[in-house]
Structures are given as structure tokens and as C-alpha cells.
Amino acid sequence: MTQKEVASALFRRQPAERYGIYEHFWPETIRDNWVNQGYPRDVSPEDHFGYDIQNVGGWFDTAIWPGRWEVVEETGETQLIRDGRGSLLRYWKKKSGTPEHVGFEVTTPEAWGKVRDRLLGTDRARLNIEETKKSLEWGRKTGRMVVFGNLFVFELMRGTIGDENFLPALLEEPDWVRDFCQVYLDFFKRHYAIMFDSAGLPDAMFVYEDLGYRNGPFCSPATMKALVLPYHKALVDFFKSYGLPVLLHSCGDIRKAIPMILEAGWDVLQPLEAKAGVNVVELARQIGDRIAFMGNIDVTVLNKNDKNLIKAEVEGKVRELKKLKASYFFHSDHSVPPDVSYESYKYALEVFRANARL
């Protein structure tokens, strides 16, 4: 089977000759560390490690004020940015990480009501169609499964309204939340219809929605089912109307959200954060025939840089998943951090590949 055939089969929980492989990294890992440990400069991880998936973009400007990115304040270490969502965020200049949430413009239903109309039309300028088309054509030449990615309503509420505002609104202002989600659902459907028609179709979609944190989902399963599920399901159905399987990326302990995730129809769940208590083998025992899995290789094991520990982590999980006939992709339980050595990561892949044949 080709790389694309392997990945496509696993996404659809169909027979494949082996398990798949993909990865994300913190920027510092390769850029600042591994290039000093033998990683070849100017070679992509997809090429170097032989991943089965190639992300080729598909993002477009979903902001209320498209294109806005204003530096409000700058120090030697940070930049304070006002972005197109109306958020004021402080970023590190020399390292990655979640920005500090300083302030937001759209903090009430009234403020939302004044700007929502900016998202009701269709704006081809947001899409950058020619660049997306070229990226898609290039990705197909790699022989990998090519995917588009984007955020959706939970992340967009976080980025537009702010956690301290939108999380209470789930209980206190549910009509506002429903309107926000419906506006963005319709926005996505209109714009992706144009992108698919003008630039072409990828092989699958990645949707980034961090529904949980270390101790569980950000809201109760009942609230999530009432206010998030209808829009997730509608987006998944829209992508599947084009024949595209859909991956959900959600960090944190999302175990209580699993029934909603299954009901929405997601095809793959990623990254299965071991640091938050998620165990892919346990999930596979419960729901393995209803969704494919990507991730759960614990970076707090990899960063010990101990081959015995790495072998036990990777081999133990893969062998159990094979017994359960689960569909699976090797991936860290979020992104590979810079304290994982290049040699340790290569060894983890070596152990995985030795056990990946089905």
C-alpha cells in the first residue's frame, strides 16, 4: 500500500497493512536543538521521518477584522498584539507557548451584535485560493495523504471572546453562544465550498478544538452536547458530503466528552493527551471500532531519553492496540518538546516501525 492508501484506510477504519505515522513539534525542538544533534538542516520532518500525512494548509482568515495584526507594545522578550478577532494577546518573541490573554473587544452579546454582520457575507479575499491550490498540488506529489486544517467554534470563542467570558456565557448566555456558533458554521460552509470548488479537495480535514484541560472538559458533557455538538455534527456532515474524513484535535482530558465526539461523527481523535490521564488502549477497549486514534505517546516518557522506558511506552501500547484491532497512528500526546533528544525520537520511531505491521 502507498502512504496515502495506508492513511486513508486507517482514517476510515478499514484494513491496512500497517499502522500510520505523523507528528507535530514545538518550533524550538528542531530549529534550536535537533539541528545541533544531527538532524539535517532544511529537510522537513515529513521527508526525513517518512510520515504518511502532509498538511498543506487550507486555513483562511476567519477573523472579524481580517488581516489586522497590530503591535501595541514591545519589549525585548514579548510583543503585545491586537489581532483581527479583537483580542489583545502577549506573545513570547523567542519561544513558543500559549499567549497571555490581556483583553478582548467582544465580551458581551451586545458587542457581538455590533460585529456579527461582518461574518455574514462571503469574501473570497479571505481564502488565498491560488496559494492553496499550489500547496495542494505540491502535497499530492509527495504521495502522502494531504489534509487541510482549521479551528472551529470552541477555539474561535476562546480567541474572540476569551475564556473568562465565553465559559460563563455557556451557562448564562446560551443564546449568544448558539448565535456565535451558527454564524461561524455558516461562514465555514460558504467559504469551504468556494475553496473546494476553486482550489480542489484534500484527502481529509483536521479540525482543532481544545475541549479539555488537564482535569477534564471545560464544561459539563450536558452543556457541551447542547451548545457544541449540533455545530460539530453539522460541520462534520458538511465535510463528509464531499467525501472527506475528519480528524478532531482536542487536548486535555476529553474522556467525558467521548459520547459527544462519537455522536458528532468524527473519524479520528488526536492527540490523546497522556499527561491528562488519557490512555489510548483503554479507549480502544471501549470504543475502538467507532473511531481511529492518533497519538498518546507520552512525551514525559520520551523526555527521560531512556531507551528502555521509550521501548516500553511505544511497544506496549502498539501491541495492545493491534490485539484490539484498533486503527492507529503514531504521534506524541501533543507535540514533541525540545527536551526530547533527536536520538530518543528516532528510537521511538524505530520501535514503532518494528511493531507496526498488521
pLDDT tens string 93-110: 988 888 999 999 999 999
Number of domains the chain contains: 2
Residue 95: the pLDDT is: 87
Q: What are the C-alpha distances in Å from 121 to residues 58, 149, 180? A: 19, 22, 15
Residue 97: the pLDDT is: 86
Question: Quick one: average pLDDT of 336-347?
Answer: 98
Q: Model confidence over 190-203: pLDDT tens digits?
A: 999 999 999 999 99
Pairwise CA distance, residues 12 & 69, whole Å: 39
Q: Are residues 217 and 156 in the same domain?
A: yes
Pairwise CA distance, residues 87 & 131, whole Å: 27
Q: Are residues 40 and 159 in the same domain?
A: yes
Q: Are residues 101 and 123 in the same domain?
A: no
Q: Are residues 191 and 255 in the same domain?
A: yes
Query: For residues 134 and 165, is the Cβ–Cβ distance under 8 A?
Result: no
Q: Which of 77, 105, 133 is the last residue of a domain?
A: 105
Q: Which of 48, 76, 105 is the last residue of a domain?
A: 105
Helix/strand/coil for 347: helix
Beta strands in the chain (DSSP E): 20-21, 53-55, 69-74, 78-83, 87-92, 100-104, 145-151, 204-208, 212-213, 216-217, 246-249, 268-270, 292-294, 328-330
Question: Quick one: average pLDDT of 109-122?
Answer: 98
Share of the chain above pLDDT 90, in %: 98
- Residue 105 DSSP one-character state: S
Q: Are residues 32 and 139 in the same domain?
A: yes
Q: Which of 80, 105, 130 is the last residue of a domain?
A: 105
CATH number at residue 171: 3.20.20.210
Nearest one of 310, 286, 287 to 298, comparing CA atoms: 310
Q: Are residues 263 and 303 in the same domain?
A: yes
Residue 168: the pLDDT is: 97
Residue 186: the pLDDT is: 98
Q: Are residues 189 and 97 in the same domain?
A: no
Q: Are residues 292 and 315 in the same domain?
A: yes
Pairwise CA distance, residues 204 & 243, whole Å: 8
Residue 140: the pLDDT is: 97
Q: Are residues 98 and 112 in the same domain?
A: no
Q: Which amino acid type is present at position 170?
A: L
Under the phi-then-psi rule, with left for phi > 0, alpha for psi from -120 to 50, and beta for the rest, what region is 53?
beta
Residue 94: the pLDDT is: 86
Pairwise CA distance, residues 176 & 171, whole Å: 10
The range of the structural domain enclosing residue 194 comes to 3-64+106-355
